[in-house]
Amino acid sequence: MQLRHLTINGFKSFADKTEIDFVSGLTGIVGPNGSGKSNITEAIRWTLGEQSAKSLRGEKMGDVIFAGTATRPPLNRAEVTMTFDNSDGYLPNQPAEVTVTRRLFRDGESDFLINKQNVRLKDIIDLFMDSGLGKESFSFISQGRVEAVFNSKPEDRRAILEEAAGVLKYKQQKNKAQAELKETQDNLDRVSDIVAELH
Ligand code: ATP
Protein backbone atom coordinates (compact mmCIF):
# COMPACT_ATOMS: atom_id res chain seq x y z
CA MET A 1 0.00 0.00 0.00
CA GLN A 2 1.30 3.42 -0.88
CA LEU A 3 -0.03 6.91 -0.47
CA ARG A 4 -0.20 8.16 -4.05
CA HIS A 5 -2.08 11.40 -3.92
CA LEU A 6 -3.28 14.05 -1.53
CA THR A 7 -5.92 16.69 -2.26
CA ILE A 8 -6.16 19.51 0.28
CA ASN A 9 -8.92 22.09 0.00
CA GLY A 10 -9.59 24.75 2.61
CA PHE A 11 -7.44 23.04 5.27
CA LYS A 12 -5.32 25.49 7.31
CA SER A 13 -3.09 27.55 4.97
CA PHE A 14 -4.33 25.65 1.87
CA ALA A 15 -7.18 27.95 0.83
CA ASP A 16 -7.01 26.79 -2.78
CA LYS A 17 -7.43 23.20 -3.87
CA THR A 18 -3.91 21.74 -3.76
CA GLU A 19 -2.94 18.41 -5.32
CA ILE A 20 0.20 16.56 -4.25
CA ASP A 21 1.47 13.41 -5.99
CA PHE A 22 3.68 10.98 -4.10
CA VAL A 23 5.90 8.88 -6.31
CA SER A 24 7.66 5.68 -5.24
CA GLY A 25 10.62 6.17 -2.94
CA LEU A 26 11.23 9.04 -0.62
CA THR A 27 9.41 12.39 -0.90
CA GLY A 28 10.84 15.49 0.74
CA ILE A 29 8.78 18.62 1.23
CA VAL A 30 10.84 21.78 1.48
CA GLY A 31 9.87 25.39 1.96
CA PRO A 32 10.48 28.46 4.09
CA ASN A 33 9.36 28.67 7.70
CA GLY A 34 5.61 29.00 7.96
CA SER A 35 4.96 27.95 4.37
CA GLY A 36 2.73 25.01 5.37
CA LYS A 37 4.98 21.90 5.48
CA SER A 38 3.64 20.77 8.85
CA ASN A 39 0.10 21.56 7.69
CA ILE A 40 0.51 18.83 5.05
CA THR A 41 1.33 16.15 7.63
CA GLU A 42 -1.47 17.47 9.81
CA ALA A 43 -3.88 17.18 6.87
CA ILE A 44 -2.86 13.51 6.62
CA ARG A 45 -3.26 12.84 10.35
CA TRP A 46 -6.61 14.66 10.36
CA THR A 47 -7.91 12.54 7.47
CA LEU A 48 -6.82 9.37 9.26
CA GLY A 49 -9.07 10.36 12.16
CA GLU A 50 -7.21 12.73 14.47
CA GLN A 51 -9.72 13.94 17.06
CA SER A 52 -7.55 16.22 19.13
CA ALA A 53 -7.59 19.85 17.94
CA LYS A 54 -4.62 20.56 20.25
CA SER A 55 -2.43 18.00 18.53
CA LEU A 56 -3.25 19.85 15.30
CA ARG A 57 -2.07 23.06 16.99
CA GLY A 58 -5.59 24.46 17.35
CA GLU A 59 -8.05 25.23 20.14
CA LYS A 60 -11.07 23.67 18.51
CA MET A 61 -11.47 21.45 15.45
CA GLY A 62 -12.89 24.35 13.40
CA ASP A 63 -9.43 25.92 13.54
CA VAL A 64 -8.31 23.58 10.77
CA ILE A 65 -10.56 25.46 8.32
CA PHE A 66 -8.79 28.25 6.40
CA ALA A 67 -9.22 31.27 8.66
CA GLY A 68 -8.60 33.96 6.06
CA THR A 69 -5.79 36.44 5.55
CA ALA A 70 -5.60 40.21 5.14
CA THR A 71 -6.53 39.76 1.50
CA ARG A 72 -8.78 36.67 1.59
CA PRO A 73 -11.95 35.93 3.50
CA PRO A 74 -12.16 32.77 5.63
CA LEU A 75 -13.65 29.61 4.14
CA ASN A 76 -16.51 27.56 5.50
CA ARG A 77 -15.18 24.11 4.74
CA ALA A 78 -12.00 22.05 4.94
CA GLU A 79 -11.69 18.89 2.90
CA VAL A 80 -8.80 16.46 2.48
CA THR A 81 -8.71 13.31 0.35
CA MET A 82 -5.96 10.69 0.47
CA THR A 83 -5.63 8.21 -2.40
CA PHE A 84 -3.84 4.93 -1.74
CA ASP A 85 -2.52 2.36 -4.18
CA ASN A 86 -3.81 -0.84 -2.62
CA SER A 87 -2.99 -3.14 -5.55
CA ASP A 88 -0.98 -5.34 -3.15
CA GLY A 89 -4.19 -5.90 -1.12
CA TYR A 90 -2.57 -4.56 2.04
CA LEU A 91 -5.89 -3.09 3.13
CA PRO A 92 -8.11 -6.19 3.17
CA ASN A 93 -11.53 -6.18 1.44
CA GLN A 94 -10.73 -2.95 -0.36
CA PRO A 95 -10.29 -2.17 -4.08
CA ALA A 96 -6.93 -1.61 -5.78
CA GLU A 97 -7.33 2.14 -5.26
CA VAL A 98 -8.70 3.38 -1.95
CA THR A 99 -9.74 6.95 -1.24
CA VAL A 100 -10.37 8.35 2.21
CA THR A 101 -11.97 11.77 2.66
CA ARG A 102 -12.66 13.94 5.68
CA ARG A 103 -14.72 17.13 5.47
CA LEU A 104 -15.58 19.67 8.14
CA PHE A 105 -17.94 22.65 7.94
CA ARG A 106 -17.75 25.69 10.18
CA ASP A 107 -21.12 24.85 11.75
CA GLY A 108 -19.52 21.64 13.04
CA GLU A 109 -21.06 19.26 10.52
CA SER A 110 -18.57 16.72 9.24
CA ASP A 111 -18.34 13.89 6.73
CA PHE A 112 -16.10 10.84 6.52
CA LEU A 113 -15.91 8.86 3.30
CA ILE A 114 -14.18 5.69 2.16
CA ASN A 115 -14.23 5.29 -1.64
CA LYS A 116 -16.76 8.16 -1.83
CA GLN A 117 -19.22 6.32 0.43
CA ASN A 118 -20.26 7.94 3.70
CA VAL A 119 -18.88 6.05 6.70
CA ARG A 120 -18.33 6.67 10.41
CA LEU A 121 -15.06 8.00 11.81
CA LYS A 122 -14.70 4.61 13.50
CA ASP A 123 -14.66 2.87 10.09
CA ILE A 124 -11.67 4.96 9.00
CA ILE A 125 -9.83 4.34 12.26
CA ASP A 126 -10.55 0.59 12.00
CA LEU A 127 -9.39 0.50 8.37
CA PHE A 128 -5.95 1.83 9.26
CA MET A 129 -5.52 0.50 12.77
CA ASP A 130 -3.33 -2.44 11.80
CA SER A 131 -1.65 -0.80 8.83
CA GLY A 132 1.04 1.10 10.71
CA LEU A 133 -0.64 4.27 9.44
CA GLY A 134 -3.00 4.87 12.37
CA LYS A 135 -3.04 8.46 13.56
CA GLU A 136 -1.08 7.50 16.70
CA SER A 137 1.26 5.20 14.86
CA PHE A 138 5.01 5.41 14.69
CA SER A 139 4.60 6.53 11.06
CA PHE A 140 4.22 10.13 12.21
CA ILE A 141 7.11 11.56 14.13
CA SER A 142 6.60 15.28 14.48
CA GLN A 143 9.07 17.87 15.75
CA GLY A 144 9.99 17.09 19.35
CA ARG A 145 8.42 13.63 19.22
CA VAL A 146 11.75 11.80 18.90
CA GLU A 147 12.89 13.09 22.30
CA ALA A 148 9.40 12.45 23.68
CA VAL A 149 9.54 8.79 22.55
CA PHE A 150 12.97 8.27 24.09
CA ASN A 151 12.00 10.00 27.32
CA SER A 152 8.58 8.37 27.59
CA LYS A 153 7.60 5.86 30.26
CA PRO A 154 8.22 2.20 29.36
CA GLU A 155 4.43 1.57 29.16
CA ASP A 156 4.00 4.39 26.62
CA ARG A 157 6.91 3.09 24.56
CA ARG A 158 5.37 -0.36 24.69
CA ALA A 159 2.10 1.07 23.27
CA ILE A 160 4.05 2.39 20.27
CA LEU A 161 5.58 -1.06 19.69
CA GLU A 162 2.18 -2.70 20.11
CA GLU A 163 0.62 -0.49 17.47
CA ALA A 164 3.56 -1.33 15.16
CA ALA A 165 3.08 -5.05 15.79
CA GLY A 166 -0.68 -4.83 15.18
CA VAL A 167 -1.55 -5.85 18.76
CA LEU A 168 -3.34 -2.63 19.71
CA LYS A 169 -6.54 -3.48 17.87
CA TYR A 170 -6.94 -6.74 19.80
CA LYS A 171 -6.07 -5.05 23.06
CA GLN A 172 -8.80 -2.47 22.48
CA GLN A 173 -11.30 -5.21 21.56
CA LYS A 174 -10.31 -7.10 24.72
CA ASN A 175 -10.83 -3.99 26.89
CA LYS A 176 -14.25 -3.44 25.28
CA ALA A 177 -15.26 -7.08 25.85
CA GLN A 178 -14.07 -6.90 29.49
CA ALA A 179 -16.10 -3.73 30.07
CA GLU A 180 -19.19 -5.46 28.60
CA LEU A 181 -18.59 -8.52 30.80
CA LYS A 182 -18.35 -6.31 33.87
CA GLU A 183 -21.57 -4.52 32.94
CA THR A 184 -23.32 -7.89 32.48
CA GLN A 185 -21.97 -9.12 35.83
CA ASP A 186 -23.25 -5.92 37.52
CA ASN A 187 -26.69 -6.53 35.98
CA LEU A 188 -26.64 -10.16 37.17
CA ASP A 189 -25.69 -9.04 40.69
CA ARG A 190 -28.55 -6.56 40.66
CA VAL A 191 -30.99 -9.27 39.51
CA SER A 192 -29.86 -11.67 42.27
CA ASP A 193 -30.26 -8.86 44.84
CA ILE A 194 -33.84 -8.35 43.67
CA VAL A 195 -34.50 -12.12 43.70
CA ALA A 196 -33.11 -12.31 47.27
CA GLU A 197 -35.33 -9.39 48.34
CA LEU A 198 -38.42 -11.11 46.89
CA HIS A 199 -37.81 -14.36 48.78
P1 ATP B 1 8.24 25.59 9.96
O2 ATP B 1 9.29 25.31 8.91
O3 ATP B 1 8.48 26.87 10.69
O4 ATP B 1 7.94 24.44 10.87
P5 ATP B 1 5.98 25.01 8.21
O6 ATP B 1 6.38 25.13 6.76
O7 ATP B 1 5.87 23.65 8.77
O8 ATP B 1 6.87 25.94 9.13
P9 ATP B 1 3.27 25.31 9.03
O10 ATP B 1 3.49 25.31 10.50
O11 ATP B 1 2.74 24.09 8.37
O12 ATP B 1 4.60 25.79 8.32
O13 ATP B 1 2.30 26.50 8.61
C14 ATP B 1 2.06 27.57 9.43
C15 ATP B 1 1.23 28.57 8.64
O16 ATP B 1 -0.09 28.07 8.50
C17 ATP B 1 1.14 29.87 9.40
O18 ATP B 1 1.41 30.92 8.48
C19 ATP B 1 -0.30 29.94 9.84
O20 ATP B 1 -0.81 31.24 9.83
C21 ATP B 1 -0.99 29.12 8.77
N22 ATP B 1 -2.25 28.57 9.25
C23 ATP B 1 -2.45 27.67 10.24
N24 ATP B 1 -3.77 27.46 10.42
C25 ATP B 1 -4.40 28.25 9.53
C26 ATP B 1 -5.78 28.48 9.21
N27 ATP B 1 -6.78 27.86 9.84
N28 ATP B 1 -6.06 29.37 8.23
C29 ATP B 1 -5.08 30.00 7.57
N30 ATP B 1 -3.77 29.83 7.80
C31 ATP B 1 -3.43 28.97 8.76
Q: Which residues are annotated as a binding site for ATP?
A: 32-39
CA angle 145, 129, 60 (to 5 degrees): 60
Residue 37 beta carbon below 6 angstroms from any ligand 1 atom = yes
Please report how many Cα atoms fall inside a 13 Å half-sphere around the Cα of residue 88, on the Cβ side: 7
Phi and psi, residue 113, nearest 5°: -135, 140
pTM: 0.79
Alpha-carbon distance 93 to 72, whole Å?
A: 43
Express each pLDDT in 136-170 by its tens digit.
Answer: 666 777 777 778 778 889 998 887 777 777 787 78
User: What radius of gyration, in Å, describes the C-alpha atoms of the chain?
Assistant: 21
Q: Is 31 in the pocket of ligand 1 (CB under 6 A)?
A: yes
What pLDDT, in 10s, does the model give residues 109-124? Answer: 999 999 999 999 999 9
Q: Is the ipTM of this complex over 0.85?
A: yes
Q: Report CA(34)–ligand 1 centroid distance (Å).
A: 5
Does ligand 1 lie within 6 Å of residue 66's CB atom? Answer: yes
| DSSP output for 95-119 | -SEEEEEEEEETTS-EEEEETTEEE
Which amino acid residue places its CA nearest to atom 9 of ligand 1? 36
Is the Cβ atom of 114 under 6 angstroms away from ligand 1? Answer: no
Q: b/e per residue, 57-70, with b = 16+ CB within 10 A?
A: ebeebbebbbeeee
